[in-house]
Homo-oligomer: A and B are copies of this chain.
Amino acid sequence: MIIPSRGFEVSEYENRLNKIQKLMFDSKMDAILLTTQVDIEYYTGFKTQFFQSPTRPWYVLIPSDGKPKAIIPTIGESGMRETWIDDIQTWTSPNPKDDGISMLLSKINSLIGKNKCLGVPKTLESTLRMPLGDYEYLISSLSGVEIKDANKILRKIRFVKSVAEIAKIRHICQLTSQGFIELEGLLRVGESERENCQRFKQCLLALGADDSPYIVSGSGKDGYGSIIMGPTEKIIEEGDLFIIDTGSVFDSYYCDFDRNYAFGYICDEAKKAYRVAYEATEAGFKACQAGNTTSDVFNAMNDVLQKGGALGNTVGRLGHGLGMQLTEWPSNTATDNTVLEPGVVLTLEPGMAFLPGKEMVHEENIVITDDGPEWLSIRAADELPVIQ
Contacts and interface: CB of A to CB of B under 8 A. Distances in A.
Interface of A: 6, 47-50, 52-56, 73-79, 82, 92-96, 99, 120-133, 135-136, 149, 151, 194, 198, 201-202, 205-206, 210-211, 213-216, 225-229, 233, 247, 314-317, 320, 325-327, 329, 331, 333, 335, 357
B76 A228 contact: yes
Contacts of A151: 131
Given A49-B213, A50-B216, 14 more contacts: A53-B327, A54-B126, A55-B327, A78-B225, A78-B229, A99-B124, A126-B131, A126-B132, A127-B130, A131-B151, A133-B149, A198-B205, A201-B211, A205-B205
Nearest to A224: B78
A215 B316 CA distance: 35
B50 A228 contact: yes
A81 to B, nearest CB: 9
A55 B130 contact: no
B127 A122 contact: no
Contact of A123 (B127, B131, B206, B320): B131
A77 B313 CA distance: 12
Contact of A132 (B121, B215, B225, B327): B121
Given A94-B317, A228-B75, A316-B93, A205 B201 contact: yes
A357 B47 CA distance: 20
B316 A74 contact: yes
Contacts of A96: 123-124, 335
A94 B227 CA distance: 16
Given A94-B333, A205-B202, A228-B48, A124 B128 contact: no
A312 B110 CA distance: 31
Contact of A54 (B120, B135, B325, B333): B325
A247 to B, nearest CB: 7
